[in-house]
Amino acid sequence: MNIPENDIYDYLKNTDKPIIIYGMGNGADKVISQLERRSITVSGISASDDFVRGQSFHNLIVRRISDFEKEYEEFIIIIAFGTSLPDVMKHIFTLSRRHTVFAVDVPVYGDNVWTKEFYRENIEDIERAYDLLADQKSRYVYENIIKYKLSGRLDYLRSCYSSKDEVFSDILRLGKNESYLDLGAYRGDTVDEFLYYAGGSYSHITALEPDRKTFAKLKSHISDMKNVRIFRMGIWSEDRDMSFEESLGRGSNIGQVGGSDLAVTKIDTLYAVRRVSYIKMDVEGSERQAIIGGINTIKRDKPKLNIAAYHRSEDIFSLPLIINSIEPGYKLYMRQHPYIPAWDLNLYAVTV
């Protein structure tokens, strides 16, 4: 792989252009924290016109991009929120034609950050995972997403986009009699996705969603379906109660301190008797623990796997390695679906 020697923080340290953060949420907090740790100064905060109403964020008045265009001849924009909305993404790419625009990669969970030091420390595992990928497109996605994570450059990210249609038609190829496990089922959107690509037919569906309010919506959504079991539980490497940070919608996650108690279970417990043919796993940074709790089932059934590979910085290389260690017969694929930043990066695994 041809990876740049420097990273986004090197560039920002050495620029004399004002740095404008675009976004005011948790992502912006994380980006600003990383910049402050490296003594990189933020000159302003911006947001879409609908959110600019005299608000302040990190002691800076939130202003429109057009306001900064009047003040500065040149400046850098750092996108600090996540979106897959086509209109919003189009706006960001339009901005990138007028200005220098980056999307700094910060982890959704965990403390590891993509820097040149992180890359060098993990180079052996990074290269081992690259060598496991089954096709040229996966290797292209893998290499360019790492380049994006290090540089923040949107062109690396944009060049990797592909559709879910391609994945389901060419890689997963769902049949008419799948037994489906949906980990992180949310309100039922991925149950709907499964039904669409499976042609509406299936053997059995099991869905887990830990968030109380979201689970109620999931329950209502699938109320008329047969051969479905749903659990308000988390997934982990063992059966126990754990702390759960609730009411964050899609971001609700299993934590180590605080939150409320939640029962978590293992894939191997859910499928001690029943067989599974397809597992989708989007569990807010708990993917590795979920895989560990399903080792016996994965070895026995060799189900098709659809795993989110973006919540933690190390997921892009650590998840392919652990799947390969459990079942070397899997073919591993990586695809990036349209999103800014590199969320909706998924690892797919199938056996021949």
Q: Domain end: 104, 121, 150, which one? A: 104
**Residue 178 and residue 100 share a domain:** no
294 and 186 share one domain:
yes
Q: Report pLDDT for 43.
A: 98
User: Where does the pLDDT of residue 160 fall: very low under 50, low under 70, confident under 90, or very high at 90 and above?
Assistant: very high
Q: How confident is the model at residue 86 (pLDDT cuts 50, 70, 90)?
A: very high
Specify if 35 maps to a domain: yes
pLDDT value at residue 3: 86
Residue 328 lies in a domain: no
Q: Report the mean per-residue pLDDT for the chain.
A: 94
54 in a structural domain: yes
Percentage above 70 pLDDT, the chain: 96
* 184 and 304 fall within a common domain: yes
> What is the domain-level CATH number for residue 214?
3.40.50.150
Flag whether 1 is in a domain: no
Q: Identify the band that residue 281 occupies on the pLDDT scale cut at 50, 70 and 90.
A: very high
Residues 208 and 287 reside in one and the same domain = yes
pTM of the model: 0.94
Total tally of structural domains belonging to the chain: 2
CATH number of the domain at 49, please.
Answer: 3.40.50.20
Assess contact for 235 and 223: CB atoms under 8 A: no
Same domain, 291 and 188: yes
Last residue of a domain, which of 104, 121, 156? Answer: 104
For 22-47, the pLDDT digits (tens) are: 999 999 999 999 999 999 999 999 99
pLDDT (average), residues 94-123: 97
In a domain, 218, yes or no: yes
Residue at 30 is within a domain: yes
DSSP string computed for 64-116:
-HHHHHHH-SS-EEEE-S-B--HHHHHHHHHHHHHSEEE-----SSSS----H
**Residue 93: C-alpha distances to residues 82, 155, 156 (Å):** 14, 9, 13
Of residues 1 and 203, which shows the higher confidence score? 203
Q: For residue 341, say if its preceding peptide bond is cis, omega within 30 degrees of 0.
A: yes
Q: Answer yes or no: is 344 within a domain.
A: no
Those residues with Cβ within 8 angstroms of residue 14's Cβ, 6 or more apart along the chain or in another chain: none
Structure confidence at residue 249 (pLDDT): 46
Q: Is the pLDDT of residue 256 over 90?
A: no
Examine residue 300 and state whether it is found in any structural domain, yes or no. yes
Which residues form the domain of 47? 18-104
Same domain, yes or no: 274 and 188: yes
Query: Which of 227, 220, 224, 233 lies closest to 180 in space, CA to CA?
Result: 227
Quickly tell me which residue has 């306001």 as its tokens. 67
pLDDT at 106 over 60: yes
Domain end marker among 86, 104, 122: 104
